[in-house]
Structure 1
Amino acid sequence: MLKTLARSLRHRWLDESDARRVIDPALEERLRSFVAASERRHTGEIRICVEGGLPTSYLWRHWRHNIPIATIVRQRAAMMFAKLHVWDTPHHNGVLIYLLLAEHAIELVADRGIAERVAPAEWQAMVDRLGVALQEGHVEQGLTRALEEVSAVLVAAFPEPADAGTAAVVNRLPDGPVLR
């Protein structure tokens, strides 16, 4: 009961302002620039979402139906993947890096076009490296490395056509992190 109460308070306490403390405006701009530069090299889309706490409806599913919190976090990441239209690419090659501060949770959601080309263990290794960096307080370095790794996978699997030129590069989604 006490653990449930503590979790509830943590999710209610942490919000967008906490996400903005983790990703300050200068870092937000550097991440936006990195994503923009990356997306000029491949046809995929990369989004970052940092959320303070889960909405009450997700916590309710956890409490009421005794669904493990890790499953709830994965469901929320999948919902943000859809809500942010990361799935809306012609080659189904969008990737979402999702951080949930209240649970110190990281999810990497990849659309089916890229997920089928990368072993789950490789995605998990990226998440694990990001987790270590975040635990050590190296937010920028961890996110930059994760972006480099995701970008390398997308460049290898879905490179921008050599004859496309810069005019043909279509940026379908905003490049900046979503802070909630």
Structure 2
Amino acid sequence: MRSNIKQLMGLAAMHGHWLRRRHFNEAMLAKIAEHIRQGETEHTGELVVAVEATMPSHEADPELRALEVYGRLKVWDTPFNSGVLLYLALDRRAIEIVADRGITASSAQWQRVCENLQESLAKGHYQHGVLAAIDTIQAILKAQAPFGDHHQDSLANAPVIL
């Protein structure tokens, strides 16, 4: 049984790398970065998209891995405590959103974003799904972190490939 689990994990990892290469190519990454840049002109929030083909063996829980990535990428390090991480683990088909304390959106709002994105990804609509998720997150940030006098783009807009 143990070898079957390892084999399945190996297939999931290969599938995750295939999905990453197929759907998150340079053109797609550029579209995501531009979408983030444009959206951030309307609020003081900071959105980071992180895509991981295969979750590392030291962390099997996607929620905990998202928290780890959130910290490592310093998404929390924004002037208005308004950073948001959209994390995708392709091998696990997991989507997590981690928001800083300055964003008071409800768990239900974040859950809807994840569910809608999951539905799009299941249909193979990666570009549409990710860009729609970004739009929804930007709308939440526009309501939660309105544009201020001291707005600065403190985090990179380019998606992070882990």
1:2 offset after TM fit, Å?
4.8
1:10 offset after TM fit, Å?
3.6
Q: Quote the Cα distance in structure 2 between the aligned partners of 1:10 and 1:81.
A: 27
1:113-124 correspondence runs (5 A)? 113-114=102-103, 117-124=104-111
Q: Quote the Cα distance in structure 1 between the aligned partners of 2:82 and 2:73.
A: 14
AA of the residue aligned to 1:133: S
AA of the residue aligned to 1:152: A
Residue in structure 2 matched with residue 5 of structure 1 by the alignment: 6
Pick the structure with more helix per residue: 1
Q: Quote the Cα distance in structure 1 between the aligned partners of 2:59 and 2:78.
A: 27
Deviations 1:100-145 (A, max 9, x none): 111111111111211xx21111110110000000000111111111
- Answer yes or no: is 1:128 the counterpart of 2:115: yes
1:78 offset after TM fit, Å?
0.6
Residue in structure 2 matched with residue 153 of structure 1 by the alignment: 140
Judged with a 3 Å threshold, the aligned counterparts in structure 2 of structure 1 residues 132 and 15 are, in CA distance, closer, same or farther, namely closer
Bigger radius of gyration: 1
Q: Secondary structure at the match of 1:88?
A: coil
AA of the residue aligned to 1:158: A
Alignment coverage as a number of residue pairs: 161
Alignment TM-score, normalising by the size of structure 2: 0.90
For structure 1, the residue ranges without an aligned partner over 5 or more in a row are: 60-71
1:18 offset after TM fit, Å?
4.6
CA RMSD of aligned residues (A): 1.9
- Answer yes or no: is 1:105 the counterpart of 2:87: no
Structure 1 window deviating more from structure 2 (89-98 vs 127-136): it is 89-98
Q: Quote the Cα distance in structure 2 between the aligned partners of 1:15 and 1:103.
A: 8
Given the alignment, which residue of 50, 63, 67 partners 1:78?
Answer: 67
Deviations 1:132-166 (A, max 9, x none): 000001111111111111101111121112xx3xx
Q: Quote the Cα distance in structure 2 between the aligned partners of 1:6 and 1:101.
A: 17
- Answer yes or no: is 1:138 the counterpart of 2:125: yes
For structure 2, the residue ranges without an aligned partner over 5 or more in a row are: none
Alignment TM-score, normalising by the size of structure 1: 0.82
Say whether the 8 Å CA contact 1:92–1:113 is kept in structure 2.
yes
Q: Quote the Cα distance in structure 2 between the aligned partners of 1:52 and 1:150.
A: 22
1:15 offset after TM fit, Å?
6.4
- Answer yes or no: is 1:32 the counterpart of 2:57: no
1:79 offset after TM fit, Å?
0.5
Say whether the 8 Å CA contact 2:45–2:83 is kept in structure 1.
yes
Identity of aligned residues (%): 31
Say whether the 8 Å CA contact 2:105–2:144 is kept in structure 1.
no
AA of the residue aligned to 2:142: V
1:57 offset after TM fit, Å?
1.7
Residue in structure 2 matched with residue 91 of structure 1 by the alignment: 80
Q: Quote the Cα distance in structure 2 between the aligned partners of 1:17 and 1:137.
A: 13
Q: Quote the Cα distance in structure 2 between the aligned partners of 1:132 and 1:94.
A: 25
